[in-house]
Structure 1
Amino acid sequence: MEESAYSDVLNLRRRQRRCRPGTLIALLGLVLLALWAGLLTLLLLWHWNTERDLKQLGDTTALNISQVSKHLERHKGDQMAQKSQASQVLQTMEEIQAEQKRMKTQDSELSQDLDGLREALSNLKSQGLNERRAALTSLERLQEEVSKLWMELRVSNARDPRVTPGEMLPPTVPPVPTVMSTTAPTTAPAPAPALAPATAPAPAPALASATAPAMVLSSTPGSMCDMCPERWVSFQRKCYYFGEGAKKWIQARFACSKLQGRLVSIHSQEEQDFLAKHVNKKGSWIGLRDLNIEGEFVWMDGSPLEYSNWRPGEPNNGGQGEDCVMMLGSGQWNDAFCSSPLGGWVCDRLATC
């Protein structure tokens, strides 16, 4: 029994040995087949995925190409529009340049015409000013000579023993009319003062400047303004000019007229005190005189004598011809000969705003 069992085992082992290579080969074949099947499945899956990706890529590419084409067409359209606008701008620039050249030519012609007109106007103005200046100078000299003759006639009549005080005097020389000029300078001489005839005495009118015919001076403050020209002194809304230089009374009168003022008229103690502080210590002419009627003193503003500051014993008409009044260095008044030169004279005018 033991031998039969041993022989069975050996037979079985032999059979196993005989069957093992075939089984291995079969198993190996099955494994290879499975590998090939898996590989083929992967290849198929990769192929399908690749085709799908390629299709999507193709669609995307086609869409992008379409959009790029549209953008290119739009860009070409914009370039054409820009070229058209550029050509229009260039044309407009050329037109502007042509217009500028034409305007420069016109400006040059106008400038030449204006230069010619200015030169002609300057020549005419210079000629007119020279003629006016000569005429005004001659007229001023004539007025001064007439005034001197009139004053000398008054003085000679006052000294004539045949003429008693208050007697009618011979007719005086009439005033010379003044031609007003719209372009007269501020230093132009004033119109001649109105000379009252001896047969009808009247207060002397106020002098007016040729450049300010509407200005009327007054002894009473007429405005709240207190502005004065250069070298004039302001006091109680009036301006005062203290002139220096040897002048006769008539010369001082014309000097004040040239300054657009007149010989000062004094109407209060305050004004007198102010003037006494600034007056020339050697004596100054003021605007008081009795040339028309002896003893009847009248101010340059036409008002009668209401306030006075005479030196004791004055006025005395010493020498039968003291018809003009001066202010002494002390501030007191004295009648003197109008032809006597004094080193000072005082003008006044209203202050302005």
Structure 2
Amino acid sequence: MEESSYSEVLKFHRRHQPCCRRGIQVALLGLLTAALWTGLLTLLLLWHWDTERNLKQLGETAAWNISQVSKDLERHTGDQMAQKSQASQMLQNMEKIGAEQKKMKTQDSELSQNLYGLLEDLSNLKSQGLNERHTVLNSLERLQEEVAKLWIELRMSNGSMCNMCPEKWVNFQRKCYYFGEGAKRWIQARLACSKLQGRLVSIHSQEEQDFLVKHINRKESWIGLRDLNIEGNFVWMDENPVNYSNWRPGEPNNGGEGEDCVMMLSSGQWNDAFCNSLLNGWVCERLATC
């Protein structure tokens, strides 16, 4: 009896066991599904919250950036306005400077004209003074020479011999002559004669011309005749008139323009030449002493 009951229980257990297993599996599957959904929803909520936080941060950052850009734009606009104001002020200053420069140029031009006028007046006065001084000195020199000639005449009338000349000078008709050698221009020859207390020779007779030709040793030599002031108006160094001449045929011709000084050729004839020409001879004269 007991054995038969036990066997029935075993049969019942075996018959209902697969059904219980399937229920457990279904319950576990449901739990797993619920857990998955729960995890998924949790992930979705977390993503949503993170996204909202990021969007909020982005919005705040964008708002801050917009605020900074607005401030920079306002500052840049202010700087531009300031720069425009400064540029306008600089332009006004430049216009004022330009006006001042123009005014100064006008004043400078007027001052320059006045200065040139004063310099011209000064130059004219200086030239006038020099001319007057030169005229006075020439008059004084001629007067001294006339006095010396009168003194010589007086001494000769008393029986004195007035034919004394310095060393290396040659006497002829109460005058002494020095025949210089060495390349010189006309003005250099004139200065050389002045240092020797004489002057470039002035020729007033054929006898004097013949005497000079004998002593120049066939060298081209400077003499004291020139037309430096007025072309064609020749003047002797002793300021006496040109009452004798011995020009070479065709001379003076002012060839090439500027031949304002006179030379004696080796033949003895005269020729107008450039004053800067170098000649190896030059003749000085001075009065003889008693």
TM-score, normalised to structure 1's length? 0.41
- Name which structure has the greater RCO, CA cutoff 8 Å, separation 6+: 2
TM-score, normalised to structure 2's length? 0.49
